[in-house]
Structure formats: C-alpha cells, structure tokens
Amino acid sequence: MEAGSREAFDRLGTLGIEEEFFVVDETGRPTSGTDELVYESEPPAVLDGRLDHELFKCVIETQTPTVGSLAEASESLLEVRSALVEHARNHGFDVAAAGLHPSARWRELEHAEKPRYRSQLDRIRYPQHRNTTAGLHLHVGVDDADKAVWIANQLRWHVPVMLALSANSPFWNGFDTGLASARAKIFEALPNTGMPTAFEDFEAFRRFERWMVETGSIDDRGELWFDVRPHTEHGTVEVRTPGGRCGTATTPTCWRAPRGRRSTWARWSTGRPAGSASPASGRCTTLKAAPSGSAASGRRPVWTRSARRCSSRRRCHEVYVPVFPVSGRYPSMSTDERADDGSGEPVESDEEGVRGTLEQEAGRAANQFDEGIVDLPAWVLDTETRARIYIYLRQTPGSTSEEIAEGTGL
C-alpha cells in the first residue's frame, strides 16, 4: 500500500461527492447491471472515469468532479445523477436510491469479481456477504494534514445526530427491522466501521493506518470504513455516515461550514482541544440513533417522516424506491409533519439517552459555531429547517416545541 502523505492535503475547500445507487429492473427489484453499465458500454461524457461497481453487481457508484464552489457542486450532482439514469435506461435498467433496498435478498444477489472484493469476502466472510448497503460519501478538501485530523475529530460529535435525522432504511432482506436505519446496523458489523477514536495528529493517524495494513487487518487504507476519516489519498475529510439519498434538497450547502468565515478554521488555529470522546460513547449514541430516528436527537422530536421508521407501505415506497427523474427534480421529505403514534397527538420521547460527556461537549461546540454551521447538516438532513432545529437542540437540549419555534425563528 502506498503510504498516506501530508502532501496530499494541499487544497482548501474543494468539494466532491460519491454516491451509491441500486440498479433495478422494470419492477423496481435489484438486478445485476454493473458489468454492462460500467465495463461493456460507453457512458455519457460526464460519467467517463467516474462510474464504478461495488461489492454487489446491483450497486453502482458515481463520483462528481472535484469542484471549488457550492454552485458547481450542486450542478455537478444533478448532472451526474441525470446522466446515470439516462445511461441505465438506455440499457434496460433503472436506478433507485436508499441506504438499503427493501426487497434485496443478499443470498440471491451476485457479487462482483473484482479481486479487492473477493479478498474481502474471503477475509470478512458473513458480515461482508450480507452487506447490501448503499452510501453517500462527502469529501471536503483540507490544506493541512493536522487540520484534517482535528476536523475529523470534531465532526464525530455530530455523526450520531446526522445518522438519526438522515435515517431512511427500515427494511432489509424483505422485512421491517423496526429500525430507522437498518443500513447503519448492517454496515457496522464490518470491521473498522462506526465511530473512530480521536487521533492526536496526522502522524498518529498515519501510524495507525500503516499498522493496520502491516498486521493484515486491512488490505488497503480504503478499508478503514469509519463514519468520518481523513482521506490520505485525496487530501480530504470524508463523512460516510448517511445512506444513499433520494432527495438532494436544492444545493448541497453542507459544504459551507468547512469553508466558513471564522468557526472551524479559527478554532483549529487557536489550538483548542478536540475532546477525548471514546469510540464507546459515540457508539452508544449511534445505537440509540439507529432504532429511534429523530427521537435520539432531542426529547421532543418535531420533524418526522424521513427520520422515523416507516409505519406503512405507502410511506416506505415514498422513501425507498423512487427512481430519479431525468429532469433533475427529486422528491424531498416534508418538514411540517408531526410525529404520530396513531393517536393524532405529537409523540413525546421520555428517553434520556446515553449523553454524558457527549452532550456536554457537543453543546459547547455548538455555542461556538457561527451562523454558517447551520448549513453543515442542511443538505444531509434535507432542509435548513431541520438543520436549525438540530443546532438549537444542541445548544438547549430539552426545549419544548414552542421554545424551539421561538428560538429558531421558524
């Protein structure tokens, strides 16, 4: 394996998006199509060199070009998605987006022949054989290796809430799991996933990366599948928490905070500590986030559908199997629904959760963020409304819906 290098971190604020989608047949069921779409045909120009297959032949990956502005990122994302749909339809397939395909049965699906994946299947065995997940990976360029490690450490505080609010995969292997994000639980069965430990600096991370390869724990650095990580080849910080997304909202404004005026970079440059949360504390919160959806992020969840597990087949169809229209307009979840337990009254969670130091430190970090941080989760969480509620709850946990409305100006 080529060793990670400080020199890779040489560009600040560049943006890139990797998305994984399901190739489906005319009935919406997953089908092997990546051989034809990736290797046996010529894709549209925008997908040239930016199309790849994944572990299963029914999962395909796209990458946007590396861009330097939010406007370019939004335009590239829609262009790449539309080109993929057109390419798939020209060859008798369609494309669906979700963290898990609700009817995908892993025993019936074909694995790719790529040596890298065959090696993983031989080493990891059952957990990888059943890994029918699709993800969304977000890259932001960073111009200093130690800065990248610091940012990755800081982002760990927000990963569980991002998971809870972006959860969209209650079905797996044809049945309702009872979870808001079954994808998170399927994927974390693999080694080197979930919440990473905090690293002191880039040298500490690089030593860990090399040690994992030298001991045979991983074949290459790409097998460090943590929820957030410095990417030592691309020179980015990569967030891997969300599952495959249907809606894009309008613009991927989650990139604005790392490029912001004075919050993230200013705090790093002053040498403020990154905190000392252990993987265990983060995993406990993530465990709560996956079953509970939005209930894990505050005592009174006031946003609903995409952050709660589906309670009807109609709703799950809306979340899981929409096929992207070529027009570039994508469905998104409404934000004016209220949580429903069947009584017609708002659902109030009485769970205190596993917060401890995580809650205290996340609230401290939120108080130091300027207005730009609202944009960080805005795209992943579908709307700015949810992002503002999230930030407010981090600052003042336990607020009532009336207090949230007044405090956020919504």
Domain assignment present for residue 1? The answer is: no
The confidence score (pLDDT) of residue 3 equals 61
Domain assignment present for residue 230? The answer is: yes
Domain assignment present for residue 227? The answer is: yes
pLDDT band with cut points at 50, 70 and 90 for residue 391: confident
Task: Report percent pLDDT > 90 for the chain.
Answer: 50
Between CA 229 and CA 236 the distance in angstroms is 9
Does the pLDDT value for residue 321 go beyond 50?
no
Domain assignment present for residue 261? The answer is: yes
Cβ atoms of residues 43 and 51 within 8 Å: yes
DSSP one-letter string for 179-200: -SBHHHHHHTTSSSEESPPP-S
Q: Do the bridges between strand 228-231 and strand 236-239 make them parallel or antiparallel, or are there none, so unpaired?
A: antiparallel
DSSP one-letter string for 147-191: HHHHHHHHHTTTHHHHHHHH--B-EETTEE-S-SBHHHHHHTTSS
Cβ atoms of residues 29 and 103 within 8 Å: yes
- Between 135 and 286, name the one with better pLDDT: 135
Strand partners, 229: 238
Does the pLDDT value for residue 152 go beyond 90?
yes
Does the pLDDT value for residue 263 go beyond 50?
no
Cβ atoms of residues 239 and 156 within 8 Å: no
- Between 340 and 238, name the one with better pLDDT: 238
Q: CATH code at 167?
A: 3.30.590.20
What is the end-to-end Cα distance of the chain in Å, rounded?
Answer: 51
Digit-coded pLDDT (tens) for 200-254: 999 999 999 999 999 999 999 899 999 999 999 999 999 999 888 766 553 343 4
The confidence score (pLDDT) of residue 203 equals 95
Domain assignment present for residue 183? The answer is: yes
* Helical (H) or strand (E) element with 138: strand 136-141
Q: Which domain holds residue 238?
A: 6-408
Cβ atoms of residues 241 and 285 within 8 Å: no
Taking phi over 0 as left and psi of -120 to 50 as alpha, with beta for the rest, 175 belongs to: beta
The confidence score (pLDDT) of residue 330 equals 31
Strand partners, 61: 20, 52
Q: How many other C-beta atoms lie within 10 A of the C-beta of residue 272?
A: 13
Between CA 222 and CA 18 the distance in angstroms is 14
Between CA 178 and CA 180 the distance in angstroms is 7
CA distances from 221 to 25, 201, 207, 216, 391 (A): 34, 17, 12, 11, 33
Q: Do the bridges between strand 236-239 and strand 136-141 make them parallel or antiparallel, or are there none, so unpaired?
A: antiparallel
Between CA 77 and CA 92 the distance in angstroms is 23
Between CA 156 and CA 227 the distance in angstroms is 8
- pTM strictly above 0.85: no
Which two tokens mark 292?
A: 């509970």
**Mean pLDDT of the 244-270 span:** 47
Q: What single letter denotes the amino acid at residue 197?
A: T
Between CA 105 and CA 262 the distance in angstroms is 48
- Phi, psi angles (nearest 5°) of residue 236: -130, 170
User: How many domains is the chain partitioned into structurally?
Assistant: 1
Length reported for the chain: 410
pLDDT band with cut points at 50, 70 and 90 for residue 386: low
Cβ atoms of residues 22 and 54 within 8 Å: no
Digit-coded pLDDT (tens) for 371-380: 444 454 454 4
- Phi, psi angles (nearest 5°) of residue 307: -100, 5
- Between 250 and 118, name the one with better pLDDT: 118
Pick from 33-42, 122-131, 138-147, 315-324: least confident? 315-324
Between CA 402 and CA 399 the distance in angstroms is 8
Cβ atoms of residues 249 and 383 within 8 Å: yes
- Cα angle vertex 254, ends 252, 153, to 5°? 145
Q: Do the bridges between strand 228-231 and strand 171-172 make them parallel or antiparallel, or are there none, so unpaired?
A: unpaired
Which two tokens mark 322?
A: 């929409």
Burial class (CB in 10 A: 0-12, 13-18, 19+), 60: buried
